Structure 1
Amino acid sequence: MKLEIGNIHVKDVVLGSENSFADGVLTIDKEAAISYLKGEDDHITDLDIVIAHPGDDTRIVPVIETIEPRVRMDGRTLFPGVTGDVVPAGDGELKALKDCCVTVVGKEWGSFGDGVIDMGGEGAKHTRWSEIINICLVGDTDEEFERHEQQKCNHALRWAGHRFAEWLGKIVKDVEAEDTETYVFDPILKRDAARNELPNVAIVLQPQSQMEALGYNDLWYGWDMNKFLPTYVSPTEVFDGAIISGSFMPASSKWSTYEFQNFPLIKELYKHDGVDYNFVGVIMSNLNVALEQKERSAIMVRDMAINLGVDYAIVTEEGYGNPDTDYVRCQVVLEDAGIGVVGVSNESDGRTGVGQPLVVLDEKLNALVSTGNVGELTELPACKTVIGNLEAMNRDGMSGSWGYDEVLGKSARDDGSIIMEDNNWFCGDHISGLSLKTMKEF
């Protein structure tokens, strides 16, 4: 499989009366975009587009999703089973608008898995989104049945975000790419002798799939991953829209669709493929709830790895808490099979940083990479501009904020300042490998 992504670097985004791209400036016909998106889903009752730039004194909350705008040159849908028919992904040509993202924001209502982005000040250091232009799609819907629920599917707005990313991508379909990323994934059984002499390395991804009620989980070709079993897939499929983010997972622990499209851990494996090791692909696993389900998935991952001849593996989970059981068990069974493992996840050490980092631990976990502590407290002053609704932090059960604490008070204060846990930064721990954080030893 061969995937070519032609990158078009965006220097600025402005709203206007027509769509165009010139001299690095993307101009969006705002009214046409809103008309299109409302026409695709009559559940959307209110919609606006607001641009947030790096360095702006702007706080965005509640953030639902981020997506990289792209277009497929052959006309196939960008997100199979979501924005169009179920079609193959993982090969062909794309163009991507770099240095920007579609950021889906609730105008009024937040959810457990929604988060915060600060574009400037001290808060900007917590997420990568502060470094790129956020094309904020701010909306409300008539999905009254979940309005006062802590868990929300946010279906209409999430789907609007993916449609908008595809709509924006079409603006640059005829623009010449400035540079091209090429990812070739050769059939495992047809690789040359030199490649086959190298150690075999795979990555195991454990996307969010805990919710037995459908509509909250990550989707694979539009298929709810709660019904998914571990499967061998091409890394190019991950880059190419085969998987999109779900609505359920504490915000800092999520993999947004943008992160799947650009998964840095997989890109890093590609850099050394054929030189230091033979990258044999992705084992896409899951995160279910019952112990029997967890054991079944771990066994299936193990068996696939053995049959692929994997010598070393990276295992990484989306989330923490209950998923830690899957994450740890998967590493243990691989180690027991003689496969060396590195685990990548965030941890939950509590507000003081001295708690047990994972729900389950095992002495065989001897190579773990931490991307952050979800319980770490952050206190920040008010921002000049809020995109969305700051009150959602107090009212809607977002994972790292609260409406009352007998010591700390409420998360969003009357003066606009905030106090919250790391949990609430949108994809802030960037477990995909996109993280800004480093570890220090004391």
Structure 2
Amino acid sequence: MKLEVGNFQVKSVIFGSQTSFNNGVLTINKEEALEVVYEDERIISADIVIARPGDSTRITPVKEAVEPRYKVSGGVLFPGVTNKLMQVGSGRTHALKGTSVLAVGKHWGGFQDGLIDMSGPGSKQTMFSELLNICLVADTNEDFEKNEQQKKNEALRWGAMRLAEYLGSCVKDLEPEDMDVYHHHPLDEQTEEIQNLPGVVYVLQLQSQMLDTGYNAMVYGWDVSRMLPTFMSPNELLDGAVVSGSFMPASSKISTYQHVNNLVLKQLMNEHGETINFLGVIVSNLNTQLDEKERAALQVQNLATLLGAQGAIISEEGYGNPDIDFILTYNNLENAGIKVVGITNECTGNDGKSQPLVDLSEKANAIVSTGNVSEHLKLGPMEKVIGELEAVARDGNSGGWAESIKEDGSIEIENNGMFCADSATGNHFKTVVEY
């Protein structure tokens, strides 16, 4: 399986009469772009606003991030979701790098929606402050969801995916500036030299705690809560087979943008044939019932063992209840003789002194922390707000509370509410210092 991703580096985004890309400038015909958004009759109000790195701009409630892309070799983006079901992971995809489409609520937010600051201390919490963000700010006619803490946000998330594909289409016939090429060969085609290297699998634990469909992450359009752990080619993930869900405190979320730009996955592919034999990805889930957790951990162990893995990296999307899945899987793999490194965030309280994970194990002795969700942040006012600042305090943002917003526009918020601040895919610039 060979995947080519042709890159076009976006240096500026402006509005104009024709959607096009030229000399690093992405021009958007706003009227035409919004027609793509309004294809969903649930969306009753929409606008597109540009947020640039360094701007005195605060964006909230942010629901999803999608990289503008277009499949140029006859395939599709987001299979089983906004397009027909078919395999991805091969052929050529063109990507507008350095930019993302953000789905932002015009009014209503919720537990799973986050905040992005484009400058100041808050910008250090999330990688999206470094991107040119094309903000789809919209509202829907779904009155039943306005007062729900948990929102599916389907209309806005799907709208962001359609808009990202529309924008990506402007480079479908252009020659990319550079190309990333990803090879993943069947295991029986590996050379003897590669087979002699330590076999490593990547275990991606996706959020699936909601019993009702529409909230959880999806693989080829299938709700992750309804699947057993599955072995996949890394190329499939890097080409859009996984779509982010709408359940998870915002800082722990893995956005769709991050799934196709998963840096842990890319680094494993870079090491393939050099230091390791990267076998592929085991996509797992994070469940609510103990028997489901045990079953998933057992299946991950079985797949890793059958593949001949000697090492594994686990990325957990979330914390709290999912920590049990994380530790069960960690233990099972270690008990099978497979050495594990885990990647997760922590919930250690405002003072950092609480137990970091709900479940612990002596076997889990190699963990990369991506941050403390309870870290208390005080962020000054911004000149511009995209979306609605009141949503942080009013609608149950996982890091906000009733007094979060001050009269001058400054806020107090836990890291919990910062969009994708602690994602376990390597797409951030935080570091950990051991004292």
Give the TM-score band, short-chain normalised. over 0.9
Which ranges of structure 1 fall in alignment gaps of 5 or more residues?
Answer: 404-409
Q: Structure 1-normalised TM-score?
A: 0.98
Which residue of 1 is the match for residue 432 of structure 2? 439
> Aligned partners of 1:192, 1:27: CA distance in 2, in Å?
46
Instruction: Provide the secondary structure at the position in 2 that maps to 1:207.
Output: strand
Equivalent-residue separation in structure 1 for 2:235 and 2:76 (angstroms): 16
Tell me the SS of whatever aligns to 1:149. Answer: coil
Tell me how far apart the structure 1 counterparts of residues 267 and 280 of structure 2 sit (CA, whole Å): 13
| 1:162-202 deviation digits (Å, cap 9, x = unpaired) | 00000000011112111100000010111111011111011
2:406 to 408, 413, 418: 413
Counterpart for residue 5 of structure 2: 5
Point out where structure 2 has 5 or more consecutive residues left out of the alignment: none
Equivalent AA in structure 2 for residue 412 of structure 1: I
SS at structure 1 position matched to 2:137: strand
Find the aligned partners of 2:13 and 2:368 in 1 and give their Cα distance: 36
Q: Which of 398, 418, 424 is residue 417 of structure 2 equivalent to?
A: 424
- Could you say which residue in structure 2 is the equivalent of 1:14? 14
2: CA distance between counterparts of 1:310 and 1:357? 28
Measure the CA separation in 1 of the matches of 2:404 and 2:102. Answer: 22
Q: Distance in 2 between matches of 1:364 and 1:18?
A: 57
- Aligned-pair identity in percent equals 53
Q: Secondary structure at the match of 1:162?
A: helix
**1:351-362 matched pairs, under 5 angstroms:** 351-362=350-361
- The separation in 2 between residues aligned to 1:36 and 1:217, in whole angstroms, is 24
Equivalent residue number for residue 155 of structure 1: 154
Q: Distance in 1 between matches of 2:421 and 2:188?
A: 39
SS at match of 2:374: coil
**Cα-to-partner distance string for 1:313-351 (whole Å, 9 max, x where unaligned):** 001110000000000000001000110000000000011
Q: In structure 2, how many angstroms separate the alpha carbons of the residues matched to 1:235 and 1:15?
A: 36
For residue 26 of structure 1, what is the aligned residue in structure 2? 26
Q: Distance in 1 between matches of 2:343 and 2:75?
A: 33
Amino acid at match of 1:419: E
AA partner of residue 18 (structure 1) = Q
Quick check: 2:36–2:162 contact (8 Å CA) kept in 1? no
CA contact (8 A) 1:90 1:239 kept: yes
Bigger mean CA deviation after superposition, 11-20 or 97-106: 11-20
Counterpart contact for 1:77–1:83, Cα < 8 Å: no
Deviation at 1:82, TM superposition (A): 1.1
Paired with 2:422 and 2:133, the residues of 1 have a C-alpha distance of 19
Q: CA deviation at 1:19?
A: 1.1
Cα-to-partner distance string for 1:341-397 (whole Å, 9 max, x where unaligned) = 000000000111000000000111110110000000000110000000000001100
Task: Write the distance in 2 (CA, Å) between the matches of 1:200 and 1:22.
Answer: 43
Q: Are the aligned partners of 2:61 and 2:108 in contact in 1 as well (CA < 8 Å)?
A: yes
Equivalent residue number for residue 255 of structure 1: 254
Q: How does 1:77-92 map to 2 (within 5 A)?
A: 77-92=76-91
Counterpart code for 1:25: V
* 1:286 partner SS: strand
* RMSD (CA atoms): 0.7
Q: Give SS of 1:285's match.
A: strand
**1:391 counterpart letter in structure 2:** E
Per the normalisation by structure 2, the TM-score is: 0.99
Question: Quick check: 2:314–2:343 contact (8 Å CA) kept in 1?
Answer: yes
- 8 A Cα contact 2:317 2:423, kept in partner: no
Residues in 2 aligned to 1:75 and 1:126: alpha-carbon distance in whole angstroms: 38
In the TM superposition, residue 111 of structure 1 has moved relative to its aligned partner by 1.4
User: Per the alignment, in what secondary structure is the counterpart of residue 359 of structure 2?
Assistant: coil
Q: CA deviation at 1:75?
A: 3.6
* 1:50 aligned residue: 49
Letter aligned with residue 423 of structure 2: H
Aligned residues: 435
Please say if 1:347 is aligned against 2:340.
Answer: no
Aligned match of 2:386: 387
8 Å CA contact 1:17–1:31 kept in 2: the answer is no
Letter in 1 for 2:218: L
CA drift at 1:76:
2.5
How much has 1:222 moved relative to structure 2?
0.7
Shift of residue 431, structure 1, vs aligned partner: 1.3
